Amino acid sequence: MKLAARVQQVTPSLTLAVTAKAKAMQRDGLDVCSFSAGEPDFDTPAHIKQAAIAALKAGKTRYGPAAGEPELREAIAAKLTTENQLPYSAENIVVTNGGKHSLYNLMMALLDPGDEVIIPAPYWVSYPEMVKLADGVPVPVQTTAAAGYKITPEQLQQAITPKTRLLILNSPSNPTGMVYTPDEIRAIAQVVLEHDDLLVVSDEIYEKLLYDGASHCSIGTVSPQMFARTIVSSGFAKAYAMTGWRVGYLAAPAELVQAVNRLQSHSTSNICTFAQYGAIAALEGSQDCVETMRQAFAERRRGILQLVEQTPGLSCPTPEGAFYILVNIGAAGLSSLDFCNALLEEKHVAAVPGVAFGVDDSIRLSYATDMATIERGLARIGEFMQAHL
């Protein structure tokens, strides 16, 4: 069958491929230690589920406005205003099928063929593919472990061309876990503001998962000028363990929100109505559940970092956010894909090859799993390294 060039240029997700293979091995009865998960291993907090059940019982089962339930848009705007110092109102918010969908819709609403999007690498797998699907040109900028995997103002300056339309920032980052400091954010904003038509999308889906006293700074807080150039993408999946609910949002200047709304009105329409009531409860209810999960992640993070440090041949910078570490495996002399395939075959440990994120000397380990798995898995990775050094 002749398929559209649009889909032929898109690479299938390597993350999902590894996870699928690991799951198949588990089904065959093998004891697999999986570090490939891109989601919290916790269940959605009970009060959030209750709110969705109540909404379902109250008949919130019909079409709603394509941009989202007015009450949820209000609640998101209020959260961004008070918590993040981003003065949005409901008209600046569009509710989407997760943060992934909000980014996809943004690319579709913003990019013309040939428009360039700067993507600091290592990057989240979907960014370049979304840009390509929207006929844009992804421009990856390789960052280094020594620079904390953060793009420098000089690198940004060099990557900008007359065709550059957008910069993607993701802090805390998937896959590196790194967090930009307020000073680093300000330095980037300065470069952005020197270029008239350049916008920034700030993917803040991991903003709540911070450790060692790190703080989250949205680039939109730098100045009113920068706020006007900022688009925030986020969602409920990571902070509230709601990955399967598919609720996210985009916050942006009203004109852009209206464009995304137009797209949604002809593609998805509104996202699941009663799921949106769960999201309202997530924002308006107690935030203790978020802190409880964060503390669990913090403990696992300490544990996994210690074990990596003790393993000959492995190294990684200390990340301050999300629930991933990007571990350098260069000492083994294998490509990241060969490394992960052999690790899964020989030691029954699932990890995601760095090549999926634009770095072939590393693998991503997710610590959204229990301590026992972390200990067992790292022991096996240690044996694997010993055999390959």
Ligand X SMILES: *Cc1c(COP(=O)(O)O)cnc(C)c1O
Bond before 122 cis per omega within 30 degrees: yes
- Interacting span for ligand X (CB under 6 A) from 13-21, 140-148, 231-239, 304-312: 231-239
d(CA 335, CA 178): 23
> Minimum distance from CB of 275 to ligand X (Å)?
12
**Nearer CB in complex with ligand X: 73/100:** 100
Residue 203's SS3 state is strand
* Interface of this chain with ligand X, residues 260 to 299, rule: CB under 6 A: none
100 is a contact residue toward ligand X (CB under 6 A): yes
* Least CB distance to ligand X at residue 235 (A): 3
- Segment interacting with ligand X (CB under 6 A) among 11-19, 45-53, 92-100, 310-318: 92-100
Could you say whether residue 124 binds ligand X (CB under 6 A)?
yes
203 with 169: CB under 8 angstroms?
yes
* Beta strands in the chain, from DSSP E residues, in sequence order: 33-34, 93-96, 116-121, 137-142, 164-170, 199-203, 230-235, 248-251, 324-328, 349-350, 352-353, 362-366
x-or-dash pattern for ligand X, window 236-255, by CB under 6 A? -xx----x----x-------
CB 122 within 8 A of CB 176: yes
Q: Select from 181-189, 232-240, 266-274, 348-356 the region that touches ligand X (CB under 6 A).
A: 232-240
Interface with ligand X in residues 184-203 (CB under 6 A)? 203
Residue among 7, 6, 259 nearest 108 (CA): 259
Q: Which of 289, 187, 118 is nearest to 127 (CA)?
A: 118
Among positions 40, 68, 99, 313, the unique one binding ligand X when judged by CB under 6 A: 99
Least Å distance, CB 100 to ligand X, is: 3
Candidates 224-232, 235-243, 311-319, 376-384: pick the segment binding ligand X (CB under 6 A). 235-243
Site stretch for ligand X (CB under 6 A), options 12-20, 53-61, 209-217, 234-242: 234-242
- Interaction between residue 128 and ligand X (CB under 6 A): no
Q: Which residue has the tokens 């960014």?
A: 127
Give the binding range for ligand X (CB under 6 A) out of 26-34, 98-106, 263-271, 373-381. Answer: 98-106
* Minimum distance from residue 380 beta carbon to ligand X (Å): 26
E strand map for 78-122: 93-96, 116-121
C-beta of residue 197 within 8 angstroms of C-beta of residue 212: no
The count of C-alpha atoms lying within 13 angstroms of the C-alpha of 367, restricted to the half-sphere facing its C-beta, is: 32
Decide if residue 235 touches ligand X (CB under 6 A).
Answer: yes
**What SS3 state is found at 341?**
helix
Residue number of the CB closest to ligand X reads 98
Burial class (CB in 10 A: 0-12, 13-18, 19+), 354: buried
Whichever of 176 and 373 has its CB closer to ligand X, that residue is 176
CB of 17 to ligand X, least distance (A): 17
Beta strands across the sheet bearing 199-203: 93-96, 248-251, 230-235, 199-203, 164-170, 116-121, 137-142
String marking each residue 146-185 x if it binds ligand X according to CB under 6 A: ------------------------x---x-----------
Count of residues engaged in binding ligand X, rule: CB under 6 A: 14
Q: How far is the CB of 142 from ligand X (least distance, A)?
A: 18
Residue that has been written with the tokens 């690790």 in this structure: 343
Binding segment for ligand X (CB under 6 A), chosen from 48-56, 96-104, 363-371, 378-386, is 96-104
Dist. CA 340–CA 346, nearest whole Å? 10
Per CB under 6 A, residues contacting ligand X are 38, 98-100, 124, 170, 174, 203, 205, 235, 237-238, 243, 248
